[in-house]
Amino acid sequence: MTKKILLIRHAKAQPATPYTSDFDRPLHPQGERDAQQLGILLKKHHLLPDAIIASAALRTQQTATLIAQAVGFAPEYIQLQATIYNSSADVLQHIIRTLPPEIKTVYIIAHNPGITNFSNSLSPHFRIDQMPTACVVGARWNGMDWRDFDATEKELFLFEYPKPL
């Protein structure tokens, strides 16, 4: 059975201010547009999720919701996990290993540097210094159980992000 993981960095957030914590920064209007466009792209490619797992930070929640709406996934089923905020690649790998086997396609929406480090660990043929905002890296592998994810060779099939005008 083919399983797919789509690693997504949150869309562009409002700049930091002395009055707002980093955790509570909302999306910038450009980030809202980029998240919607990313969802439209994923739907166009028939990359529909069985699960969406996102950081509990505001900008990541908003990114997840906009993408979910665009692909037809009910936003109330987005799983928010506080441990994803500022997490390492190891934390993201642990989340993947604990997914139920019936999930075939999962979106993980997180932050740098963890999401970039996790993306770079998927294949020796892929390397990026820093995932841009609203970037997606997709990998697929054949397996029945997500516990085997680390030990299984993965094929990267998607790398997209908003292009500057």
Gap between the Cα atoms of 132 and 163, Å rounded: 10
> For residue 161, is pLDDT > 70?
yes
Amino acid at 83: T
Q: What is the DSSP string of 86-98?
A: T--HHHHHHHHHT
Per-residue model confidence as pLDDT tens digits over 88-126: 999 999 999 999 999 999 999 999 999 999 999 999 999
DSSP 24: G
Reported as a pLDDT band with limits 50, 70 and 90, residue 164 is: low
Per-residue model confidence as pLDDT tens digits over 8-61: 999 999 998 999 899 999 999 999 999 999 999 999 999 999 999 999 999 999
Residues ≥6 apart with Cβ < 8 Å to 35: 11, 27, 62, 63, 66, 67, 70, 134
Output the pTM of the full model.
0.96
Kindly report the CATH number that applies to the domain delimited by 2-12+23-160: 3.40.50.1240
* Domain boundaries of the chain, sorted by first residue: 2-12+23-160
